[in-house]
Chains A and B, each alone.
Chain A
């Protein structure tokens, strides 16, 4: 080791690390380190070994691009934050304080130390809570709440429930996608989108008409009472105003390639809307949103 670099081995080792990462800008210092590496075989071995580890890491963990689904998911979430804030003038669901947090805040911050108030507050919340939790849950999605019977979203929810309750049964029972496509073409005169969905099997299809507009309803099951239902109609139904699809949702689909929401009914089912060629698809499922997102990302590539 050159006399001039009489530092502790700890510092020398860290300097070697800096040298490997090309973080030493001082030319003289750099030359000194290079001299040391030439003259000190042991230090040179340390240097090579550390360099090898660094190169090995970067070669085995190459940088990856953000998957399109991840990008869409992020953009979609931000859009939903904006839409929710605009619609409700309120925070999104995750930002609501919980029932218990509300009680805690009311009791601890406002009336702590005043037992009669605390008791009254607790009593009100308990009674209110019983009413809230005892009663049926309602849809919270503003598009469903505001939708008329012409709304694609409302129609998808209603049709899904009719299928779940058994009020509507498939006109054609088939697991053959080509057969289902042909059936829709014959009955409803448009090209339906019949995707393959992992872990789910196509069960059948129903075709009908609303307001002069042809509709198709595809049903998939997984053998465990779980259903994915896809409502489909040509996109010109929206252009002709035979059916309604909120403009915000259309913009969202155009931008993020899909629109996904939950709380569309009392069972907190998930709805996903997207365009496939000239067809509007509205899917309903009992799956939670995150699970449906993964499923949707797989089948709708």
Chain B
């Protein structure tokens, strides 16, 4: 029996110990840095553009979707994608060929979002994980078949309410929920994108979903559904 315990623990620890791929820090790409394009001649500029179109442009879809969910607005998502690509192009010499370009772009976008958009955006009220820490533990043994009802309640929620619930998550939780549940990335990919251990991804995802559920429940409750005892 002890063997089983150690297997579980090792399973977690080994995954946590996977080193993320070394990526250039997006945080280094500051506006104050000299413009790297001015140092290139016409042929070098053309070559950079060709490489960039081949390496970076194909990842626009995932970046756009992430931007759309993070910013919650199409125009802001447009700007975020544009800013990310402009910055990435200017600093493309810092991208190490053969490494994960998608992850590199994602880090730049995350940095752009934090620097430019998040501080200007009105913060929605955040839900603390502690508030819902005992969420699952409140499940009553006699309501284990309540999932069908929960499904009905959730499906009646409005898109705005769902967006509101997603936006109520702290950025760390929101990011992993978007990347895993909406973009379908693996924990390993997310860990690489965020430069955090896989265990952190798992933990944030678990907590993020819990908070989200609580928030959705609150919306349902405000619309007259008696969901408190369902989960």
Contact = CB atoms under 8 A, between A and B. Distances in A.
For this complex, into which size category does the number of interface residues on chain B fall? 35 or more
Nearest to A84: B37
A26 interface: yes
Contacts of A224: none
Chain A CB within 10 Å, residue with most, of B31, B184, B206: B206
B183 interface: yes
A135 interface: no
Contacts of A17: 202, 205-206, 209
B86 A81 contact: yes
A3 B5 CA distance: 9
Given A15-B8, A52-B151, A95-B31, A42 B64 contact: no
A114 interface: no
B217 to A, nearest CB: 10
A7 B10 CA distance: 12
Contact of B45 (A28, A67, A69, A82): A82
B159 A60 contact: yes
Interface string B103-128: 00000000000000000000000000
Given A11-B8, A66-B61, A53 B216 contact: yes
Interface stretch (A86-94, A227-235, A236-244): A86-94
Contacts of B42: 86
A66 B4 contact: no
A45 B203 contact: no
Interface in B167-206: 177, 180-184, 186-187, 202-203, 205-206
B183 A54 contact: no
A23 B202 contact: yes
B17 interface: no
A233 B108 CA distance: 42
A11 B199 CA distance: 10
B141 A42 contact: yes
Contacts of B38: 85, 89-91
B93 interface: no
A29 B182 contact: no
B213 interface: yes
Given A58-B181, A77-B86, A14 B186 contact: no
Given A45-B144, A78-B49, A29 B8 contact: yes
Interface stretch (B19-27, B75-83, B94-102): B75-83
Q: Tell me whether chain B's interface is mostly helix, strand or loop, or mixed.
A: helix
A299 interface: no
Interface in A20-62: 21, 23-24, 26, 28-29, 32, 41-42, 44-46, 48-50, 52-54, 56-58, 60-61
A134 interface: no
Interface string A63-89: 111110111011101110110011001
A5 interface: yes
A18 interface: yes
Given A7-B8, A66-B64, A85 B216 contact: no
Contacts of B162: 57, 60-61
Contacts of B213: 49-50, 53
B46 A78 contact: no
Given A23-B187, A49-B213, A85 B89 contact: no
B45 A70 contact: no
Given A18-B187, A32-B4, A73 B65 contact: no
Contacts of A78: 49, 52, 85-86, 89
A42 B141 CA distance: 6
B23 to A, nearest CB: 21
A103 B41 CA distance: 29
A6 interface: yes
Contacts of B40: 85
Chain B CB within 10 Å, residue with most, of A18, A57, A67, A71: A57
Chain A CB within 10 Å, residue with most, of B4, B45, B141: B4
Which 7 residue pairs across A and B have the least CB separation, nearest first? A4-B4, A91-B35, A45-B144, A17-B206, A85-B37, A48-B147, A95-B35
Given A44-B144, A52-B151, 13 more contacts: A4-B3, A13-B136, A13-B206, A18-B202, A45-B143, A49-B136, A54-B180, A57-B166, A63-B65, A63-B182, A64-B68, A73-B82, A85-B45
